[in-house]
A and B are shown apart, each in its own frame.
Chain A
Amino acid sequence: MNAAMEKHTPRLMVLPTFIILLIISLVPLFYVLGISFTDSTIGRPFSDFVWFENYKKAFTDEVFGTSLINTLVFAFVVTTIQTFLGFVLAFAMQKEKRLSGIFRTLALLPLFTPPVAIAMIWRLIYDPNSGLINHYLLKLGLSGRPIAFLGSKALAFPAIMFADTWQWTPFCFLLCLAALQSLPKDPYEAAMVDGASPWYVFKRLTLQMVAPQVIVIFLFRFLIALKVFDLVYMLTFGGPGNSTQVTSFYIYRIGFKQFQTVYAGALSILVLILISFLALALTKGRELILKRME
């Protein structure tokens, strides 16, 4: 076997898998992009090119705008709360050696429960007639009448956020715990010898060393939160009105309930572009924060 053959054999071996992956990931994307410039229906694909008409419609669609704002607010609020809670709990757990096994196992519970089951649990808890919260609110005299958490415009979105926090805080907690446990011990010993206060050690050592990992956890969770669908579908179906409308659910409704598949495709492309820019901006932001911390 000559040198050139030896050099290119691994690439040739990988090529079929690479081509298959390329087809699987890029073909649907380009297909959706292609049909988003048309006025085609399910039975007549790629007919009547309308160019940017679907995109123009998306920019004037008020519900899409509302869903976009809701999604961004939801993702930012839940990610901030979950990362903060996860970090605080991980910091507390880090020092607790004896019970850590039990706590960690129990913390995994929401992670291996299917999202639909989680939504069902919270639907029962929020129920105005037979829900756990209303039962105890009425029993303790904190409320005069049952509260429809999922039927109120003001309360429905916070209720979804709360359920999501219950589901995802353990995820942030476990990742923060792993980050804290991987920190080197030497700087702490040096700080102890120098007589540094706990607050100083926390601010100057723990936070400084763990910040890159926590920012990655935040970004990771933020990108997952942008895709929220299951809780909205099971708990409120986007209502009341459009108060809990999020992009994934709106696209689903447009595509599979109203059968405007082409418009749904155009919305998907817009959301994809937006999320890509957002991910890029957040990654740049992370680099800037880390540079400033140095």
Chain B
Amino acid sequence: MENREGIDFKAVLQKSPKRGPGDYLRMIFIARYGRILLLLLFVGSILLPVLFIGTTSLEEPIEIRSSGAILPSKEITAINWIRAFRNVPLLHYLFNSTVTASIDTTYGRKSERERKPRTVHSPSPYLAQENNP
């Protein structure tokens, strides 16, 4: 099995080393689908618990205690959300958190900006030489 240049491809292939860890690595990471599958698994595993808690919040309390399914088996209800806002001053808590986070972030950004060294725009020495030969 030689080509025009006289290279025996079969011999080259036979001489090539066995499949090593690099080839598996290439299969996983260089093959786009493998990479996307891995990343989708990662995102899925992150989203699943959040989705579960989100759908659980839309179930009746009695259903929460009896079923662990992701999707509610009976009709959905907003009773838990209404209770959350009615029983405790949740909006006030959210406001407190927002104010604290905003002040912290603004102050942090400001001090970071202040820490940056100022660039002094001095005239180029070459320009000076050109003007005063």
Report, as a range, how many residues of chain A touch the other chain.
Answer: 35 or more
Contact A197 B22 (CB under 8 A): yes
Interface size on B, residues (CB 8 A): 31
Indicate whether B30 reaches chain A with its CB closer than 8 angstroms.
yes
A88 proximity list for chain B (CB < 8 A): 38
A122 proximity list for chain B (CB < 8 A): 49
Indicate whether A198 reaches chain B with its CB closer than 8 angstroms.
yes
B32 proximity list for chain A (CB < 8 A): 96
Bound-state Cα–Cα, A197 to B22, Å = 8
Indicate whether B25 reaches chain A with its CB closer than 8 angstroms.
yes
- Bitwise, A161-178 to B at CB < 8 A (1) or not (0) is 000001000100100000
Indicate whether A132 reaches chain B with its CB closer than 8 angstroms.
yes
Bound-state Cα–Cα, A173 to B56, Å = 29
Contact A89 B53 (CB under 8 A): no
B23 proximity list for chain A (CB < 8 A): 199
Indicate whether A51 reaches chain B with its CB closer than 8 angstroms.
no
Contact of A96 among B25, B36, B47 (CB under 8 A): B36
Question: Which residues of B, 1-43, contact A by the 8 Å Cβ criterion?
Answer: 20-23, 25-26, 28-30, 32, 35-36, 38-39, 42-43
Task: Say whether, besides A89-B39, A95-B30, A166-B46, A199 and B52 are in contact (CB < 8 Å).
Answer: no
Task: Say whether, besides A132-B68, A132-B70, A199-B23, A125 and B39 are in contact (CB < 8 Å).
Answer: no
Indicate whether B99 reaches chain A with its CB closer than 8 angstroms.
no
